[in-house]
Structure 1
Amino acid sequence: MSAMPHEFDLAHATMLPPADKGPRAAPNIGILAAQWEAVHEAAAAVGNLAQLGRESVTPEIEQLPHRAAEQGGWHYEMVAHGIEDLAAVMQPGLRALLSLTAQGQDTTAAALTLWREFHTARTAILDLIDAG
């Protein structure tokens, strides 16, 4: 079986230092908690547009930023990146849904799709903490 040819050129790739080397900044729980809360507020709006109502958040979900900071290291960094990525999906998605709603269009199906994507991504972020 022959290998597939590829177009990757790693000649100018930047090598990252090992994760264990160098000083790490102290986790900023306040910023992470605010981002986590904002993502959930966006999800609540999407839930309303999907005609699902507001979800009750469990303490396990609510305390994610604190648990990530307690574990620190790569766990915290991956959770922080995951929350940023989730916000990057939710913000334009919610903006599009609100725009369509303002035009009088039914957004139930689209909102339900974004709602499911939110839950899948949130579960993956929560699993990062449980992986430790």
Structure 2
Amino acid sequence: MRATANHRIGQQGGEAEMPRSGRAGFGLGSASALSMKWSALHDAAEAVAAICGMPCPPLSQLVRAYPAMMRDAGEAHRALAAQGIEDLTAIMEPGLAALAAAMARGAHPRAAALALWDEFCRARDALLALAPPQDTAMRRMG
């Protein structure tokens, strides 16, 4: 009788089932993790732009929507996007750390910051090129 009561309240075999969130699962590299990493990269890029002494341009609709688009693009595109974001992170983290260290020593690493900014923009544009073709109108807007 106890097993029947447990089953009714969401337990089976003595172990509680986790309630479902109602959200769709997107496999490894969920959209929220991809979104957080993508956002962090743009925060880092904004810091690099400040070191360059230039304003960081506003994010286009394509850039803002990229994680969700890649989530919906299928596993192969999602995996490429996730790897590309990891690769770009591997460039930006030590680059920004080196710029901060140089500034802490009193240097003005504008040229190095410009090189990192250029690398970020080229890598980000390559990632944006992975976006599904049905979003060509959005690309023109950004």
Amino acid at match of 1:29: A
RMSD: 1.6
Gaps of 5+ in 2: 1-25, 135-142
d(CA) in 2 for partners of 1:126 and 1:118? 12
Aligned to 2:37: 35
TM-score, structure 2 as length reference? 0.72
Correspondence for 2:48 among 46, 49, 62: 46
TM-score, structure 1 as length reference? 0.78
Aligned to 1:3: none
Gaps of 5+ in 1: 1-23
How far 1:26 moved relative to its partner? 5.5
1:25–1:111 Cα change, 3 Å: same
How far 1:27 moved relative to its partner? 5.1
Aligned to 2:9: none
Q: Is the 8 A contact 1:27 1:72 kept in 2?
A: no
Q: Which has the larger radius of gyration?
A: 2
Q: How many corresponding residue pairs? A: 109
Residues 90-129 of structure 1 correspond to what in structure 2 (within 5 A)? 90-129=92-131
Moved over 2 A (4+): 24-27
d(CA) in 1 for partners of 2:58 and 2:52? 16
d(CA) in 2 for partners of 1:98 and 1:123? 25
Q: Specify the SS of the correspondent of 2:131.
A: helix
d(CA) in 1 for partners of 2:100 and 2:133? 36
**Amino-acid identity (%):** 36
